[in-house]
Structure 1
Amino acid sequence: MIFTNLLKDVSLVKYKIGMISLFFLALFLRFWKISQFNSFVFDEVYYAKYANYYLIGTDFFNSHPPLSQYIIAIGIWLGSHFPASPDTINDLTGSMRSTFSYRWINAFIGSFIPIIVGAIAYQLTQRRSYSLITTLLVVLDGLFLVESRYALNNIYLVLFGLLGQFCFLLSLRTSNQNIYLILSGIFLGCSIAVKWNGLAFLLGIILIIFLLKTNLLNKNHKINLNWIKITLYLLIIPLLTYSVLWIPHLIMNPQYNFLEVHQEILSFHQKITGNDSKIHPYCSPWYSWLLMWRPIAYFYETKTVANQKIIYDVHAMGNPLLWWFSTLAIIMFFLIFILKVFKKNLAIDPLLLIYILSNFIANLLPWIAVSRCTFIYHYLGAYVFAILALAWIIEAWLYSDLLSYQILGKLTLILIAVAFVYWLPIYLGLPLTEKQYSIRMIFNNWI
């Protein structure tokens, strides 16, 4: 492996232009044709409907905490004040709403995820080039794009988890440590208030603290955090935040108190047993996510135009090359970690290595113990850190002194970009002929 020449980096002006450009590209991709499909797409049948129930005062039970529905409800209320085409309005949510009204806030907020991941990359290395490459890769992913274009809750889980991680990293590099730790705890509580698996982002931080305190890789890396601060900022504050966020829901849905609603949620998930196609056609076990073995058709519709079958498909799948390269990159990071433990002199910052691997493990391995039906979008939390690993490797190649590595880095980025454009029609639900559709579904288990 040829490592990064630390004397080289992009200028501040180019960095700002690049990040702004990538943000607007992400924004455009998420909003373009967002109102199409005047129906529910996948789990909009739950989240868009539940969000609107808050606005119209209808009682309901949800198997997840309420924060994402609050946000979507705000989006519906704001979006309903804008004019909409009659062919994008339906009553599926329980009242007449436009598809734009229950999707736009996800698209807007989802556009910030690449920027946040890029900001984390910068905090890890203080390198603008690494930050830019990371941001670009997240923009070029398909699953984050699809999740951001509909009234679903996974982007909020990842968004708040990453904000908690970002504030934690800031706390390690600033004298205002307490402020950033408080913010970290609040954001982590928000992530858990979207789905309980938001706990994985908190677990990742605990693993990082443990590994840094044990000085496993490098005695020069010390962490100025005692267990009192850890308990207060990373356990008590997230718990308080999580609890407070339940208050509006419990007021509007008084059939269960705080403890009872958690018992009901736990009971609901315990009843969902099995993880195969007999339970749900798109169930996929955790180990299959590494290969993107079973993506999900969120929407599928056919029309006949000029005697030709036209397919409209929204597929919840990543950019295949980005996904597979990221899996290889995280495997490489595990190998580097093993070599570092055995005192091999490899030019990689131990904080970067520990941060990426701890969070990847925390977001993936707990799913081993889950026996219920799971889906590929449950990998999103871990996937972010696999992308961070790949971005670091690509940057190392691009800034290598060897021309062959520089070419390899550029070729990898080009291939990922080409793959994104190639599969873009099934992320955006654009019309495809049967042949155009079939050549994108290269494996039978993708359909």
Structure 2
Amino acid sequence: MTYDLLDDLKWRGLIAQTTDEVELRKALAKPITLYVGFDPTAPSIHVGNLVVLFVLRRFQLAGHNPLPLVGGATGLVGDPSGKNEERTLNTTEVVGQWVDRIKGQLSKFMDFESSKNPAVMVNNLDWTAPMSAIEFLRDIGKHFSVNQMLNKDAVSSRLEKDGISYTEFSYQVLQSMDYLELYKRYNCTLQIGGSDQWGNITAGLDLIRRVESASAHALTVPLLTKADGTKFGKTAGGSVWLDPEMTSPYAFFQYWLNSDDNDVINFLKVFSFKSRTEIEALESAHTANPGAREAHRELARELTSLVHSPEIAARVEEAARALFGQGDLATLDESTLASALAELPHTRIEKGAEIPTWVDLLVATGVVDSKSAARRIVKEGGAYLNNEKVVGEDFRLQKTDFLCGKYAVLRKGKRDLAAVELG
């Protein structure tokens, strides 16, 4: 069967809106240039950004020319979409640092060395910074109707509450100028974004029509939510970031591994580059035996390999297995062990202090609320230290019990884990 990019995106649930699907299909019969913008509103992009980034990559794999754009200019202004209040404006220096970090992250997902259709990284500060305010108002601003801008959902909702500054109100004009500039520089004829960006993208189309008397295309991707209705990409600790200093590779792996059974196949469609045949095979296996979590593991492996590396993915998966008694904890390197244990309830023993008993330590971690409960676990045979069964209620850890000379893993039954750190 002949591969059809738009049909594949539809099957994966990745098309919310298009300006003219028939014309877009015709255009895609030959290589086109397209872009997706990423604003540096933090030092890292998060897993929510991967949705449109992976769509951009799918276009490149299909032979098209991608322009990943980092918003060095728009990041200084702030997009009002989905916000109930003004963003905090960051300094030029901070945004510049974030631009560089995000460029490095985006470069992992695009092929910049292809002999046929290499990706080109662009920064909208390059064409925005040299422009004077008068030029911006005369050459760009005159093409925008304030009445139409006020009708945008993000703007109108803000006006009904606390109002909106001219800075954020102008965001649509800046983003539209990006599309016009990329059209002129690269013959870019498609912009992709989240469905909340539809108004901004179509404003760019209108600007191209007014200034260049030309037409272009828009395609938006649905905003991803989980089966239970909660926001995708969030945990109790906040966003799931691609930067390993902000979200450890172990926590990143576990986020995908712990996906709800009702979400995992949808996540594979969105975030995996596996074929439809491969995903449908995983779906069949998942339906037949959800407890095996084969689909979850494939999802976690692929994404951790892409974002971090295959080697790191293998290490954190081994750490996950070892923590639950399916591997040797002693074989884990200190950094992998530390990142895995950082996600657990924990307690710390200060340097020089007497090392408490297993019972005392379990209570200190908060896994149980009393010594009597901890003693009962030992009596019932459910107490473990570094995957070895603890048989005495008065068992006291020794320095030699600490992995890498620093960490010990307590386990209650099969699933409840806690960590002890020796200072």
Higher relative contact order, chain-length normalized (CA < 8 Å, sep 6+): 1
Bucket of the pairwise TM-score, normalised by the shorter protein: under 0.3
Q: Report the TM-score, using the length of structure 2 for normalisation.
A: 0.27
Which has the larger strand fraction?
2
TM (norm. structure 1) is 0.26
Quick check: which has more Rg, 1 or 2?
2
